């Protein structure tokens, strides 16, 4: 580099330094201060948005993690419920002569422990027997004569995990045909005339 080139570079640097110098007058300083305050305010607002976005992200991830754990629990519970049904059916059909045997008592204890495990997991049985039919928690598999809209018998128990139905109760519902209603005088005469 020659002396002339070095001098040009030095002059250019000096010119930039002059441009970056603070204004000497008070009004110029106030204007610059206001500009910097606005820039700082924009940076602060941007930081607040970023912090809020991060908090929302953390909350969504935690909710997702809980949902995945809950779904894993539901899947396991749904697969275990048929075993519970089988044990219950087997115990209900034990010959009364065998009911005093210790191995039968052991199976009853296993059944009760299994019920306790489900209860501790938050699983509750859906009340169905003699209840009003509710399509959100009951699944009607047939209708027979009986009180209309009432559950007459439970074919398979239903269960909830918290407020969510994981298996509806399969039930037999009354269709109201068991009770004959006597026609009033006017209805009886209308039936005879049409015959």
Annotated domain spans of the chain: 123-178
**pLDDT tens-place string over residues 140-182:** 999 999 888 899 999 999 999 888 899 999 999 998 865 534 4
pLDDT in tens, 57-96: 999 999 999 888 888 888 889 999 999 999 999 998 888 8
Q: Can you tell me whether residue 179 is helix, strand or coil?
A: coil
pLDDT range class, residue 191, cuts 50, 70, 90: very low
146 DSSP assignment: S
pTM of the model: 0.57
The domain defined by 123-178 folds into Nucleotide Exchange Factor Grpe; Chain A, domain 2 (2.30.22)
Contact 126, 155 (CB under 8 A): no
The confidence score (pLDDT) of residue 9 equals 61
Phi-psi region of 71 (alpha: psi -120 to 50; beta: other; left: phi over 0): alpha
| Complete edge-to-edge strand list for the sheet that includes strand 138-144 | 138-144, 169-174, 151-156
Residue 123: partners with Cβ closer than 8 Å, 6 or more residues away: 77, 159, 160, 161, 166
- Maximum distance among all Cα pairs of the chain, rounded to whole angstroms: 130
């Amino acid at each position: 580099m020659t002396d002339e080139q070095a001098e040009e570079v030095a002059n250019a640097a000096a010119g930039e330094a002059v441009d970056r110098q603070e204004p000497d007058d008070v009004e110029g300083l106030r204007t610059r201060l206001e500009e910097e305050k606005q820039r700082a305010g924009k940076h602060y607002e941007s930081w607040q948005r970023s912090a809020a976005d991060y908090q929302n992200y953390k909350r969504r991830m935690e909710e997702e993690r809980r949902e995945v754990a809950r779904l894993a629990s539901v899947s396991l519970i749904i697969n275990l419920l048929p075993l519970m049904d089988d044990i219950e059916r087997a115990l209900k059909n034990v010959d009364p002569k065998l009911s005093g045997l210790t191995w039968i008592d052991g199976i009853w204890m296993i059944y009760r422990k299994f019920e306790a495990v489900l209860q501790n997991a938050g699983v509750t049985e859906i009340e169905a027997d003699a209840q009003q039919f509710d399509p959100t928690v009951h699944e009607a598999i047939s209708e027979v004569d009986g009180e209309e809209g009432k559950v007459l018998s439970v074919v398979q128990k239903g269960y909830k995990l918290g407020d969510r139905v994981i298996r509806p109760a399969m039930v037999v519902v009354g269709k109201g045909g068991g009770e004959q209603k006597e026609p009033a005088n006017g209805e009886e005469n209308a039936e005879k005339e049409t015959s």
